[in-house]
Amino acid sequence: MRRLMLELKQTMDMYSTACKEALTAKQKATELHRWKLEEGQRLEQVRLAQEAALALAENEKLKCMAAMEAAEAAQRIAVMEAQKRRNAEMKAFKEAEEKKKAIEAKTYDFMFRKYTIEEIEAATNNFSREKPTLRAKARFCEWD
């Protein structure tokens, strides 16, 4: 009977140890399941964050392209405006030169009278060596 009691006690101890190990294994399985769920949630959050980051990057890329196009357009406009300004400056310079020449020509006109070749021929009697007539002299000297 002692031997049976000892075997029963050993069996009970082994059963108790097996129960404890089963309980520990169940707890570990529960923890692993919980950890798996948490990791799944984290993975989903990371996936969503990645999608959001990609969408944001795409939006920023589009904004960048739009800004570059706007900058290129502004640069083309600036070049065109600069060309217009240069043309306007050249036109103003030419007009100033023409005005200057016109003022000089007017000054010159006031100082000297211009005669046509017909007037000179008439006044010199067709460049004859004879002295011109008084009438031709008067005509040559009169101012219009």
Write out the DSSP string of 63-111. HHHHHHHHHHHHHHHHHHHHHHHHHHHHHHHHHHHHHHHHHHHHHHHHH
In a domain, residue 31? The reply is yes
What per-residue confidence (pLDDT) applies to 60? 96
∠134-140-142 over CA atoms, to 5°?
Answer: 100
Whole-angstrom Cα distance, residue 44 to residue 141? 110
- Three-state secondary-structure class, residue 142: coil
- Domain of residue 44, residue span: 2-112
Instruction: Evaluate whether residue 120 is within a structural domain.
Output: no
d(CA 82, CA 75): 10
Calculate the average pLDDT of the chain. Answer: 88
- The mean pLDDT value for 83-97 works out to 95
Residue 142 located in a structural domain: no
Residue 51 lies in a domain: yes
Q: Is residue 11 part of a domain?
A: yes
Alpha carbon distances (Å) from 43 to 29, 40, 56, 57, 126? 20, 5, 20, 21, 114
Q: What is the pLDDT of residue 93?
A: 95
Check pLDDT > 60 for residue 87. yes
Residue 144's pLDDT band (boundaries 50, 70, 90)?
very low
Q: Total structural domains in the chain? A: 1
Average pLDDT of the residues in 30-57: 96
Is 90 exceeded by the pLDDT of residue 18? yes
Distance CA 72, CA 76 (A): 6
Residue 137 clears pLDDT 90, i.e. is over it = no
The answer to whether residue 123 is domain-embedded is no
Specify the pTM: 0.43
pLDDT the model gives residue 104: 77
